[in-house]
Amino acid sequence: MKLIVAIVQPEKLTDVKQALSEARVGKMTVSNVIGCGSQGGYMESYRGTFTEVNLLDKVRFEIAVNDDFVKPAIDAIIRGARTGKIGDGKIFVVPLEECIRVRTGESGTDAIG
Amino acid sequence: MKKTIGILIFLIGLIVIMNMPALAEDAMTGTAGTAVAGAAPPATPPPKAVTQEALDAVKSSLQVGIDTTWVLFTAFLVFFMNLGFAMVESGLCRAKNTVNILTKNFIVFAISSAAFWVIGWGLMFGNGNSFAGLEGLFFVSGADNSPAIGDTYKGVYTAINWTGVPLWAKFFFQLVFAGTAATIVSGAVAERIKFHSFVIFSFLLVGILYPITGHWIWGGGFLASLGMFDFAGSTVVHSVGGWAALAGVILLGSRIGKYRKDGSINPIFGHSMSMATLGGIVLWFGWFGFNPGSTMGVGDGSAIAHIAVTTNTAAAMAILSSTATSWFLQKKPDLSMIINGSLAGLVAITAPCAFVSVGSAAIIGLIAGVLVVLAVMMFDRIRIDDPVGALSVHLVNGIWGTLAVGLFAVDKITGTATGNGLFYGGGFKLLGAQATGVAAVGAFTFIASLIVWYVIKQVAGLRVSREEEITGLDLGEHGAKAYPDFQGFLTK
């Protein structure tokens, strides 16, 4: 079992979700985050002064998958999120020790679904 | 410590010295008073007889005073509507564009003030031909002896000589109406227009386009001669704003992501329904200046009271019918449709408010509420993207309200001889004049606006870049976010 953490551009949220559902990955958690990488920041001005803001809005997916779904999920995320420009995002694959379904108490690969 | 005491003594001394003359005066009158009391009282002359002229002069000056107070007070209410528009528009658009929308709404009244003062007033109310004013064009400087009315009026703004208030009161009242037309446009073009393009267009709308059509109806032009009536501006203000907005939206295109390739519609949610609701109520409040104020005189109070009630009744009925329609079509009542409903009713009653009964106002409002919900859906169907429903509210119901005069008018119900509408035995005469007005103003405003927008597009650009639209116009146009705090600590 693996936990896929993907950071993507916010406007790609619906495209990534669509691609994932085509790859039969339907369970995920999405959150708004701010972050930075190679993408430069932007200048913000307010009442006569300027400042550089280099934490940018991103969207983060957390998807728990069984091992045979890892590659399809990653391909789907890339399909949905890639624009070719700096700032497209990153995907991390983290080993998942345990997964439990709250409603029934199942655990392991069955709980992931 | 010593320094503080020193300063205190200095200040006290200063205050005493400054009050010396007053103290001296009191001392002098004290002695003078006692001196006078000693002398014998002089004989009092008999009171002068009160003449009719004196009475008329007093009545006249009081009348001018009270009418001016009325005109200015209602104008201040209409000015307040700018706040309402800013709130409705920013509430119904996304957070990332809030600064841009607020800036557009804030600056548009400044632009209107300048443009209407420089040339707008003159084009609209100056004496001229059936098409436009030609005299007293610039800076409201034509000869004028307001508040003289009717035959005693001597000046170049004859079209508005029927109201007995000073020239600047007339100017200010008409200015806030012009400002309303300009701010209608900002909602429809929101979230994708370049700031400077909007600024340029607003100058031209308020300086030239609005006054010309306004001259046709309120400035003694050909539509007035035809017998077309538009009491507070369903056509002059609202549909002019609507047509200009429609031309802009067509040339601008829809927002990115609004209409998907497969033809389905993507709802783009507003970021603050509280803001939108407060704005709607502010607009409703402001309309009590817009409609009753257009009498530009208090009279015996019956007209302004009648108009206040027709205004409110139409708004209330439109809210009920738009709620019902939205509930029926969307399975749940939609707040933004309800707000649009109230505005639709108000726009629709703007032309007929002084010419119809309260019962007719209710019917006009009921129909307006249904129309606005259907119009919002229709515009989306034909892929005309209007983020706040400005076209459905102002254009569609501006037309409906103008035509409603032709249907429901009752001759002289508050004093104006409009003739009877179709439903009151007047036949098609009034309705024909109204329809002609709608068509003439529509054709002129739409085509002229299209040309102006097109020229602006070629010369200065119209729409922001794709990246800027996605990141948000706040950063792109203004370099500042509206809600930076909600992101946490972005800077030191």
Banded pLDDT at B28 (limits 50, 70, 90): very low
Decide if B312 is inside a domain: yes
Q: What is the CATH number of the domain that holds A12?
A: 3.30.70.120
B268 at interface of A, judged by CB pairs closer than 8 A: no
Q: Tell me the per-residue pLDDT of B324-353, one tens digit each, with 9 for 90 and over.
A: 999 999 998 999 999 999 999 999 999 999
**Residue B415 touches partner A, C-beta closer than 8 Å:** no
CATH of the domain at B120: 1.10.3430.10
Residue pair B158/B143 in contact (Cβ under 8 Å)? The answer is no
The answer to whether A34 contacts B470, with C-beta atoms less than 8 Å apart, is: no
pLDDT value, residue A11: 86
Q: How far apart (Å, rounded) are the C-alpha atoms in residues A99 and A108? A: 5
Yes or no, beta carbons of A43 and B490 under 8 Å apart = no
Whether residues A34 and B484 touch (CB distance < 8 A) is answered with no
Confidence tier at A48 by pLDDT (50, 70, 90):
confident
Contacts of B461 (CB under 8 A, 6+ apart): B194, B197
> Does B19 map to a domain?
no
Note whether B144 and B167 are within 8 A (CB): yes
State whether residue B488 sits within 8 Å of chain A by CB. yes
Q: Say if residues B106 and B83 touch (Cβ distance below 8 Å).
A: no
C-beta atoms surrounding B485 within 10 Å: 9
- Give a yes or no: residue B53 inside a domain: no
pLDDT per position as a tens digit, B93-140: 998 899 999 999 999 999 999 999 999 999 999 999 999 999 999 999
pTM of the predicted model, to two decimals? 0.85
In a domain, B18, yes or no: no
Tally the domains of chain B: 1
pLDDT at position B42 is 59
Task: Provide the pLDDT for residue B489.
Answer: 55
Beta bridge pairs of residue A29 = A62
Residue B356 falls inside a structural domain: yes
In a domain, B22, yes or no: no
**Number of domains present in the structure of chain A:** 1
Q: Tell me, yes or no, whether B49 lies in a domain.
A: no
Query: Which residues in chain B have Cβ-Cβ distances shorter than 8 Å to A43?
Result: 479
pLDDT at B487: 58
- What is the Cα–Cα distance from B11 to B15, expressed in whole angstroms? 6
Residue pairs between chains A and B whose CB atoms are closer than 8 Å? 25
Chain A residues inside the 8 Å CB shell of B484? 44
pLDDT tens string B370-401? 999 999 999 999 999 999 999 999 999 999 99
More confident residue, B37 or B140: B140
Interface of B with A in 233-262 (CB under 8 A): 257
pLDDT of residue B41: 58
Domain that holds residue B429: 59-478
| B30 located within any domain | no
Residue B35 pLDDT exceeds 70? no
Residue numbers of the domain that contains A20: 2-112
